[in-house]
Structure 1
Amino acid sequence: MSSANPSVLAQPLKLPCGVVLKNRLAKSAMSDSLGDGCGGPTDAQIRLYERWAEGGLALSIVGEVQGTALYPEKPGNLVLNTQSNPNQFKALARAGLDHKTQLWLQLGHAGAMADPAICAPKGPSALDLPGLRCDALSLSDIQQLPAEFARTARLAQDYGFGGVEIHAAHGFLLSQFLSPLFNKRDDAYGGSLANRMRLMLDSVDAVRRAVGPDFPIAVKLNATDQLAGGFAQDEALGVMAVLDATSVDLIDISGGTYFPGAPSSSDRAGFGPYFVDFAKQSRAKTTKPLMVTGGFKTLDQAQTAITDGSADLIGLARAVIVDPDLPQKWLAGHAPTPKFPHFENPPEGGVTAWYTMQITQIADDGAMLSPAGLSDAVTAYTQRDQQRRALWTMHFAQDSRDQS
């Protein structure tokens, strides 16, 4: 039993828009890779979010939901637009809202990080680097993006989801615009920090106009992208100050990037939480509720972040993959530390593959994968992506032709 007060995590959190989260534990957005390969939710994905709701979370966020099929992160991403099947998305919304859990969609656009096997990646600027090549978005492309995010958000609202999160972290498109490493533009969207954050702020405004004042909007922001010459902490604090004057209801603080070869914060076993210090500094910049995601491994870490004012909401990711019932345990004051697997010399991307396939086990109500099965998990993950790439390419062939 923890010596701290377990009721701290059980306290509800009222967001500026008026929505109340039932406690202080959230499942942060992850790429669950359970879409059907044609942009739609599957029965397994519906069961996954139902299962996480049963585990006691106040909020779950579905990772990387695309507004179009043009710049997906993975072929398992969801695509929500007027061509999508409403019934599939409504079923997902209903399952995720069980047990008074909120289910939000993360509005995604992979930009330069889009899967080159199924699309032609484009980012703020053209890049030709080992493992990463993209063309630059045109000014017209950029100016259309806020309306695209807004359309997806409005459909999420219409189909019964509880809110949306605008993804400006982890090296995806809006994060690329914020980063001077990715963004070499010399127009109104590049150069100064004010210009580099313009697309993110325009997207927030467009989404708010689309959904009205009572629907939650979050922004996921990097404290740092952990790359030399990239988006650093001092600039992130500057963005926090500007977000304070917007209509956002929650700022989700994370960090790192999926830039090829870059170290992942979540792979640093034994460390964490990773971004609490940044969150403490952010308190001088904003009064917005803060969700801190990354590296929470113990009940005491979570409770301390709430009690000392660093965070208003704790974002859990891999912890609820290895134990979907962890929120219930922590809310009851039990203090088990999740049993994270240890891998010897995993291949690049191998740990992510193992956790993604363990997500599939949760969705199928299956047993926990063994760390010794890393090679099998990587094989299954790779084969599934290959199968879904073929489906994606066939299903969205017209979108690709229109893009070219």
Structure 2
Amino acid sequence: MSQTQTSPLAQPLTLPCGATLKNRIAKSAMSDSLGDGAGNPTDDQIRIYERWAKGGLALSIIGEVQATPHFAEKPGNLILNDHSDQDLPKRLAKAGAIDGAQLWLQLGHAGAMADAGISTPKGPSALDLPGLTCGALTLDEVHALPAEFARTASLAKELGFGGVQVHAAHGFLLSQFLSPLFNKREDAYGGSLQNRMRLLLEVIEAVRMAVGPKYPVGIKLNATDQLEGGFAEDQSLEVIAAVDRTAIDLIDISGGTYFPGAASSSDRAGSGPYFLEFAGRARQKTKIPLMVTGGFKTLAQAESAIIDGKADLIGLARALVVDPELPSFWLTGQRSEPKFPRFKNPPDGGVTAWYTMQITQNAKGDSALSSDDLEGAIEAYKDRDDARRRIWKSRLS
């Protein structure tokens, strides 16, 4: 399966809304941390999404685009609302759509995980835990959320982005509502799983109403948040069955959470895709196309996932950081796997910092970092976030 004409990765994928992805390779959403600190795209961000588009993929998704400055995950996140500069997002949308690629915005709200340096975190319920303190959203604040997501989606469409993805994974707000660990509410949004998924379904409905029937709308959902007593696979399958009754075009299956101290899926040991077996179970619950993200390291793994019918789209993240042109090489059979760095006893968050700074190297066209650069990457990552927090607080607070 090494040639373009025979590789299952080269097949186009038509979504339920009618839009077509040119092949089966996507860049999943990451926190690229390339915003300017005031919610705007930068030239670096525009360049890296253009580079990924030219690298042969069908779809890129920009992580955590906020409706407001109040609950951002990082000070490098983008903000898209009626007060945003429109020229820079338009440039970004155009750059990411070169060579027939699509660029989608991931609609985000960090909730309890919001960066405490630039916000006052609030989640479904008040929490006071080691490393995580937050207040609870009022019922009025919860009721306002679908319209916020919908307005950002509408602007994404107006500015030329190819689609949007509702972020309900990785421990951010909509994921928090789904999890019994985060959600202790006693109103219509807490308690039973039916209640806990209510906000997510309301957001999906509002976004679809805002963008119309022919615009791609996806969702990112955890298979499990990998926390004891949290959101588990059987619950996720119930949510997928409910989402199947909505007008969603793509379900991106991932997992894990950025809950302080929790191990992320991308840092765990293992040589294969993390959530592929779960995707096989999800296939029995929905006819919506499935994107599976996490752990794909070889061409054979990616092709097998498509051939076996467990995935319709392969989501790559770190593979496209170490090898931005990887899709073009996979589609022509010229490369079987990217070369990943190996780190000895990295500190918590250190690997994420290294990959984030490598994205910046790629955007600037600079030489690649080595694994020996870990300490310097961590320091640069921290210094940049600190600088952007100062900008955020001066201009957006």
User: Could you tell me the TM-score, scaled by structure 1's length?
Assistant: 0.97
Maintained 8 Å contact 1:273/1:294: yes
Aligned CA RMSD, in angstroms, stands at 1.2
Q: Deviations over 1:140-171 (max 9, x none)?
A: 00000000000000000000000000000000
Residues 274 and 294, structure 2, Cα contact 8 Å, conserved in 1: yes
Distance across 1 between alignment mates of 2:271 and 2:222: 18
Q: Deviation per CA, 1:189-225, whole angstroms, max 9, x where unpaired?
A: 0000110000000000000000000000000000000
Alignment of 1:101-180 (within 5 A): 101-180=101-180
Instruction: Specify the alignment match of 1:29 in structure 2.
Output: 29
Structure 2 unaligned regions, length at least 5: none
Q: Secondary structure at the match of 1:30?
A: coil
Counterpart for residue 87 of structure 1? 87
Partner of 1:188: 188
Per the alignment, in what secondary structure is the counterpart of residue 191 of structure 2?
A: coil
- Structure 2 match to 1:292: 292
Q: Cα deviation per residue 1:23-80 (whole Å; 9 max; x = unaligned)?
A: 0000000000000000000000000100000110100000000000000000000000
Q: Post-superposition shift, 1:252?
A: 0.3
TM-aligned CA deviation for residue 270 of structure 1: 3.6
| 1:2-401 paired onto structure 2 within 5 Å | 6-397=6-397
Question: How far off is 1:366 after superposition?
Answer: 1.1
Contact 2:4 2:331 survives alignment (8 Å): no
Asked if 2 retains the 8 angstrom alpha-carbon contact of 1:65 and 1:108, the reply is yes
Residues in 2 aligned to 1:7 and 1:344: alpha-carbon distance in whole angstroms: 36
Distance change (3 Å), C-alpha of 1:229 and 1:375 = same
Contact 2:123 / 2:134 at 8 angstroms: preserved in 1?
yes
In 2: Cα distance, 1:83 partner to 1:281 partner: 43
Is 1:6–1:303's contact at 8 Å kept on the other side of the alignment?
Answer: no
Deviation of 1:284 after TM superposition, in Å, equals: 1.0
Question: Sequence identity of aligned pairs in percent?
Answer: 68
Structure 1, unmatched stretches of 5+, are 398-404
Mapped contact 1:170–1:255 kept (Cα < 8 A): yes
After superposition, the C-alpha distances for 1:84-104 in whole angstroms (9 at most, x for unaligned) are 000010000000010100000
Deviation per residue, 1:346-375 (Å, 9 max, x gap): 111000000000000111011110100100
Count of residues in Structure 1 that have an aligned counterpart in Structure 2: 397
Bigger mean CA offset, 264-273 vs 32-41: 264-273
Q: CA deviation at 1:333?
A: 1.9
Shift of 1:5: 8.0
Matches of 2:271 and 2:393, distance apart in 1: 40
The question of whether the paired residues in 2 share the 8 Å contact of 1:123 and 1:134 is answered with yes
**Mean alpha-carbon deviation: is it higher for 145-154 or for 362-371?**
362-371
| Structure 1 stretch displaced more, 292-301 or 261-270 | 261-270
For the 8 Å contact 1:122–1:134, the answer to whether it is kept is yes
